[in-house]
Structure 1
Amino acid sequence: MGVILIAACALTAVIVAKNRTLSVGIRAATSGMGDASVSELGDVEPYPVIEFAEKHAYDLGGQAYLWFYGRWRMILEERDFVLKNGAKINSLLKYRDPPTADDEIYVTPNLDVLNIVSFFDLAEQPQILTIPPIEDGRYYTFMFVDAWHNIIANVSRQHYPQGGQQVALVGPGWQGALPEGVIRLDSPTNTVALLGRIRVSPEIPEDVAKAQALLDAVEVAPLSTMTDVPVPGSSVPGQSYELIDPNARQTLAIFDNYREILRRNPPYGKDAYAADIFEEIIPGAGLEPNPVFMAGLKETARDSQRMIRTTPLASRLRGWSMTPPEVSTPDWSWLLRAALTEYGILVNVKEESVYITTTLDSDRKNMTGGESYELRLASPPPVKEFWSITLYDMATAQLIANDWDKFRIGDNTPGLKYEEDGSLRLFISPEPPKDADYVPNWIPSTRDKDIQLNIVMRIYGPTEEILSKEWFPENWQKQ
């Protein structure tokens, strides 16, 4: 019903935008009413044509903006990968060192893993990713996301416990042969983003060295380096980072080069249907709307951006927020997809990980520097892989500098103390606990009371107990 309504509004708005008479819209709206005429409907004040056009431009423009924004934001990530980081398409950007408070690489940096990021263009030929053998039981995952923010696949320890795979990323329509033993992953788009993770224990130098060696052994190469016969490909490039204006976020300029962007990575499934609906109203895509129609579109761009930035991405319980499992497949919601990509979030599937966050204590007051807090867990998180808790500055989403260079607690923290009944006592405060046995269970904060704290609990390999919230952390208690 909603899709039909959108399509009907699109038709009416386009008719007005083309400066046709309002009577055409009236005839369409009153068809099937028998012999009734407009005059017989009573004293209904006519809707002003100009306001009508602006209103429908606003309504439809908002839908079009939210739908396309996720794609535009993915292109912006691709642009940053190349221009800010100095990386090349079809190459690997490796973060070899665990983050510190001096780094501002990305928001809420993850100390549990070493990261690999890439953007691939599969237009010419497949790209082959080589994952080394990982035989020490170490967690790893390589997540592949297409141009429209849909997860293609996860290659991880859950599927291949020993590592040692070669994965071929294959673009749409490619029909060549692959070397024996290579895993084929078909992408519906020529552009594919990669986020790879290899677990590390940042407090243990020997483990950091082992994780770095595995990271260094991950390689990518075009298929033509493995075969004697050149592989024919597409003449249409997938990369699109040169087509956008990074400052266009709150304007209709996000639609600049719209047709070329869609040509390079055509939408499919629900996105293809949406593209057909919005074809006639997006500036530069089809007809050129009149000034009245454009006024409505410009207003909706600003308001849609506000909606994106205020959309909650988690459900709350006991003051904690948990990212709902559905966000890993956001194609059912244009708004959710837009909000996810606004923060550069490539959310893993629920089988791999979920995050639980809080900024509040048991009195529902903001947790701040200068205070001491304790969290009691009746049992550690029930996981298939591992868990951790990391402390951030809420305003900057970065680690908080401290004299101990310690920012997290996890199940791999050396000396982590459990109670006799298996429970855990965890601490956040500017000074270490008086009982030295609990120092491993402590995350140093700051003495600055103006800094609001943000705590992120990362769960890798969550069990059904966590996904159903049967297990869930209690509140932090202010001491």
Structure 2
Amino acid sequence: MIKNRRELFSIHWTCASLAGLAFLAGCASTPTASQKSTGWIKDEVADSYVFGYPLVLMGVARDAAVGTDPGQAPLNTLRHAQALPPIGAANPMQPSLDTFDSTGWLDLGSEPVIVSLPDSHGRYVDARVLDMWTNVVWSTSSQFATRAAGIKAQTIAFAGPGWQGELPKGVKRVDVPTRNAWVSVRIQSNGTRDLTAVRKLQRAIRVAPLSVYAGDTRSATIAPPRSNAADAAAAAAASGTPAAQVAALDANDFFSRLAQALPDNPPTPADPHALKFLSDLGVTPGEPVKLPKAPEAITAGLADGHDRVVTPPSNLLTGNGWSWFGDGVGTYGPDYALRAYAAYAQPGIGTKDDEVRAVVTQDSDGHALNGANRYVIHFAPNQLPPVRGFWSITAYTKDGALGESAPARLAVGDRNGARRNRDGSLDVTVSSTRSKSGNWLPAPRADLKLVLRLYAPKPQATDGSWQPPAVVRQ
């Protein structure tokens, strides 16, 4: 079974070159469906599911987050988190306890949207914009190369496909290949004591369509495009994370959402071969879906697609039981397996220069982590997380939620009092029961996962030359 686009299309072109052997299994160039077995249907459903998963997931996430209900915000506006941990209808799993996040969805269909960021005066701020295929089209990460943290005031215009026009002086243009885009601004917090300073920065962020920014207050926000399939899916799966909602879609609903999203959000990079596979299945951009009449093959292909999306790809970095994304994250190119898994496992993840999230679910002996036990993570003096910003470790349930009985202090890191040993090393104790250790990380009283976050990581965090230490049971 093929795992990503590189393998997929090397096979495709090999088959295409064997003109006399076009009947071989797996060749997408076979002339008619009547000449194919249903095996090709299963394979192409699975391949197309992996290819289209990020776009469908982003569409579901947008539909859940855009609106006027509590926890939502209209298009071209931001929703500001007001508490840690964040509360609201559109919260991600594994919520960060280090930053107050301001998030929103942009509609670039008729004109650019202007995002203005204030000078953070040295406070860590990470801002990024993702297109609908989860590629990072812009972020503040490049500014960390010369600054330990913080950003200067700046104004950026995000322009949709084909827009031509003039921008106000001093506004930087960034082209986005999709009609919609997701924006996130994360402001580092030192706890409730500096909430006033965080909110002041939040209020200073401005998001507005170009016409509003230029003074035409009559400009109206445009509703995101929705299909009948989107409405049906929203009604059928009104609760749960976007990933859970996508997993609940049957093949017809999934590919209907994909077909309706494609006209406004063409593939990046442009990929006629992937679109040919979709066409083989009766999936045409902007048209009703007409899947082949092979329900068993379609069901099997959908199941295979599900499995491939949630399976870590081979190019994930691993060490001492931890796993994390390396250099390819955020700019995936044709690596569809990595892109789909990143969208599923860490929605909204930035580039290797924005953030690293290393995850571990087992101790050094290969046993599942559980809060009933006591663990120690020992960072040698030369093994501390390599960052330009800061780092932290948080414990979650195995499903990515915070433990209900955990106290208010839920993270350990270099910005919240982590104490080093005399030799410069650092120990973090993980347990559901209070530890005398100064670096105690409260954990759920059940199976758990740990997430180590590196904000503005240094290159060695993603090039394989550094890895987190093992989690050792005491």
Output the TM-score relative to the length of structure 1. 0.81
1:11 shift after superposition: 2.8
The residue type equivalent to 2:42 in the other structure is: Y
Provide the residue aligned with 1:392 in structure 2: 396
SS of corresponding position for 1:10: coil
Provide the residue aligned with 1:341 in structure 2: 343
More displaced 10-residue stretch of structure 1: 92-101 or 423-432: 92-101
Select the residue among 358, 362, 369 that pairs with 2:364.
Answer: 362
For residues 356 and 349 of structure 2, the distance between their equivalents in structure 1, rounded to whole angstroms, comes to 9
Indicate if the aligned counterparts of 2:45 and 2:305 stay in contact, CA closer than 8 A.
no
Q: Structure 2: 5+ residue runs without aligned partners?
A: 1-9, 17-21, 238-247
**Relative to 1, partners in 2 of residues 1:125 and 1:410: Cα closer, same or farther, differing over 3 Å?**
same
Residue 10 (1) aligns with residue 28 (2): yes
For residues 15 and 190 of structure 2, the distance between their equivalents in structure 1, rounded to whole angstroms, comes to 51
Encode CA deviations 1:182-234: one digit per residue, 9 max, x unaligned.
111111121111122111122xx33232122212221211111233689999x
**Relative to 1, partners in 2 of residues 1:342 and 1:155: Cα closer, same or farther, differing over 3 Å?**
same
The residue type equivalent to 1:150 in the other structure is: N
Provide the residue aligned with 2:298 in structure 1: 297
Alignment of 1:243-392 (within 5 A): 244=230, 245-246=233-234, 249-256=249-256, 259-283=259-283, 288=290, 291-292=293-294, 295-312=296-313, 314-343=316-345, 345-379=347-381, 380-392=384-396
Indicate if the aligned counterparts of 2:56 and 2:258 stay in contact, CA closer than 8 A.
no
**Relative to 1, partners in 2 of residues 1:363 and 1:76: Cα closer, same or farther, differing over 3 Å?**
same
More displaced 10-residue stretch of structure 1: 278-287 or 373-382: 278-287
For residues 81 and 214 of structure 1, the distance between their equivalents in structure 2, rounded to whole angstroms, comes to 22
For residues 127 and 103 of structure 1, the distance between their equivalents in structure 2, rounded to whole angstroms, comes to 25
SS of corresponding position for 1:385: coil
Indicate if the aligned counterparts of 1:70 and 1:341 stay in contact, CA closer than 8 A.
yes
The residue type equivalent to 1:71 in the other structure is: L
Q: How many residues align?
A: 430
Provide the residue aligned with 1:223 in structure 2: 210
Indicate if the aligned counterparts of 1:101 and 1:399 stay in contact, CA closer than 8 A.
no
Residue 412 (1) aligns with residue 440 (2): no
1:315 shift after superposition: 3.2
Provide the residue aligned with 1:192 in structure 2: 181
1:276 shift after superposition: 4.1
Higher-Rg member (1/2): 1
Indicate if the aligned counterparts of 1:101 and 1:401 stay in contact, CA closer than 8 A.
no
The residue type equivalent to 1:369 in the other structure is: G
**Relative to 1, partners in 2 of residues 1:104 and 1:274: Cα closer, same or farther, differing over 3 Å?**
closer
SS of corresponding position for 1:253: helix
The residue type equivalent to 1:115 in the other structure is: D
For residues 140 and 242 of structure 1, the distance between their equivalents in structure 2, rounded to whole angstroms, comes to 39
SS of corresponding position for 1:418: coil
1:473 shift after superposition: 2.7
For residues 396 and 365 of structure 2, the distance between their equivalents in structure 1, rounded to whole angstroms, comes to 20
More displaced 10-residue stretch of structure 1: 60-69 or 254-263: 254-263
1:241 shift after superposition: 6.9
**Relative to 1, partners in 2 of residues 1:243 and 1:141: Cα closer, same or farther, differing over 3 Å?**
farther
The residue type equivalent to 2:473 in the other structure is: K
SS of corresponding position for 2:201: helix
Provide the residue aligned with 1:145 in structure 2: 130
Select the residue among 122, 130, 139 that pairs with 1:154.
Answer: 139
**Relative to 1, partners in 2 of residues 1:231 and 1:147: Cα closer, same or farther, differing over 3 Å?**
farther
The residue type equivalent to 2:297 in the other structure is: G
Select the residue among 204, 207, 211 that pairs with 2:198.
Answer: 211
**Relative to 1, partners in 2 of residues 1:221 and 1:62: Cα closer, same or farther, differing over 3 Å?**
same
For residues 354 and 155 of structure 2, the distance between their equivalents in structure 1, rounded to whole angstroms, comes to 20
SS of corresponding position for 2:394: strand
After superposition, the CA RMSD in angstroms is 3.1
The residue type equivalent to 1:302 in the other structure is: A
Indicate if the aligned counterparts of 2:44 and 2:277 stay in contact, CA closer than 8 A.
no
Select the residue among 440, 443, 465 that pairs with 1:445.
Answer: 443
Q: Structure 1: 5+ residue runs without aligned partners?
A: 23-51
For residues 175 and 218 of structure 2, the distance between their equivalents in structure 1, rounded to whole angstroms, comes to 16
1:177 shift after superposition: 0.7
Provide the residue aligned with 2:4 in structure 1: none
SS of corresponding position for 2:178: coil
**Relative to 1, partners in 2 of residues 1:162 and 1:321: Cα closer, same or farther, differing over 3 Å?**
closer
Provide the residue aligned with 1:46 in structure 2: none
Indicate if the aligned counterparts of 1:129 and 1:220 stay in contact, CA closer than 8 A.
yes
Provide the residue aligned with 2:466 in structure 1: 471
Percent of aligned pairs with the same residue?
26
1:237 shift after superposition: 7.8
Select the residue among 58, 61, 66 that pairs with 1:82.
Answer: 66
**Relative to 1, partners in 2 of residues 1:328 and 1:105: Cα closer, same or farther, differing over 3 Å?**
same
1:296 shift after superposition: 2.9
SS of corresponding position for 1:4: helix
For residues 267 and 231 of structure 1, the distance between their equivalents in structure 2, rounded to whole angstroms, comes to 33
1:103 shift after superposition: 9.7
Select the residue among 29, 45, 49 that pairs with 1:65.
Answer: 49
The residue type equivalent to 1:326 in the other structure is: G
**Relative to 1, partners in 2 of residues 1:6 and 1:66: Cα closer, same or farther, differing over 3 Å?**
farther
The residue type equivalent to 1:108 in the other structure is: Q
For residues 287 and 300 of structure 1, the distance between their equivalents in structure 2, rounded to whole angstroms, comes to 16
1:295 shift after superposition: 4.9
SS of corresponding position for 2:328: helix
Indicate if the aligned counterparts of 1:353 and 1:458 stay in contact, CA closer than 8 A.
yes
For residues 407 and 258 of structure 2, the distance between their equivalents in structure 1, rounded to whole angstroms, comes to 50
For residues 259 and 469 of structure 2, the distance between their equivalents in structure 1, rounded to whole angstroms, comes to 51
The residue type equivalent to 1:191 in the other structure is: N
SS of corresponding position for 1:401: coil
For residues 40 and 375 of structure 2, the distance between their equivalents in structure 1, rounded to whole angstroms, comes to 52
Encode CA deviations 1:333-367: one digit per residue, 9 max, x unaligned.
22332233234612211012111221222222222
The residue type equivalent to 1:336 in the other structure is: L
Select the residue among 155, 161, 171 that pairs with 1:182.
Answer: 171
More displaced 10-residue stretch of structure 1: 279-288 or 374-383: 279-288
Indicate if the aligned counterparts of 2:319 and 2:468 stay in contact, CA closer than 8 A.
no
SS of corresponding position for 2:389: strand
